[in-house]
Amino acid sequence: MDFEKLIPGIIGAFVGVVGWLLVGLYIQRRQFVRQARNAARAVYFELDVNRLGVEVARDFGSFTLLNRSSFERLLPELAMLLPPGELRTIVAAYMSHAGYQQVASDEGLPPAIRRQALGAILDAHREALDIVRRRAFSPDEIKGLEANDEEATAGAGSVEEPGMSAPR
């Protein structure tokens, strides 16, 4: 047996195995990050719908159920993407749903306190949305989301007062 030919073969095989392992780990890591970003996007839109529900409740007194199914299902992926402090902010927004339910069910709550409580819940959702937006979307996607927000806000000014109808 010729050791001069065997040693380079063993070294080459070792380098090939280590290289393949590193490439595999890199590809797997990218897949996990992609899944985590997709999870964050789903949670972002769920938070946005919830924010809208809280805003309607604050402004018009119409309460709807807030969703949390995406958050509960995708929490492990979010935990991979977000540092603990940011994840806690997201969790706080979802924990505020208990306060929302309490405000919705307490008929004797003074309107000023109801509005203040809903404002705090709304602030928690906005803060969570800001965090998820930064982590889940590229700068170009964020610009698109902000443009859509501006269009929706501009269109909201034409909404009629509740109980008022336009003459026909």
Cα 115 to chain centroid, rounded? 24
| Lowest-confidence segment of 63-77, 89-103, 135-149 by average pLDDT | 135-149
Q: How far is CA 130 from CA 7, 41, 63, 99, in A?
A: 57, 12, 24, 21
Which residue type is seen at 83?
A: P
Q: What average pLDDT score do residues 84-100 get?
A: 97
pLDDT tens-digit map of 105-117: 998 999 999 999 9
Which residue type is seen at 89?
A: T
- The pLDDT of residue 119: 97
| Lowest-confidence segment of 23-32, 55-64, 149-158 by average pLDDT | 149-158
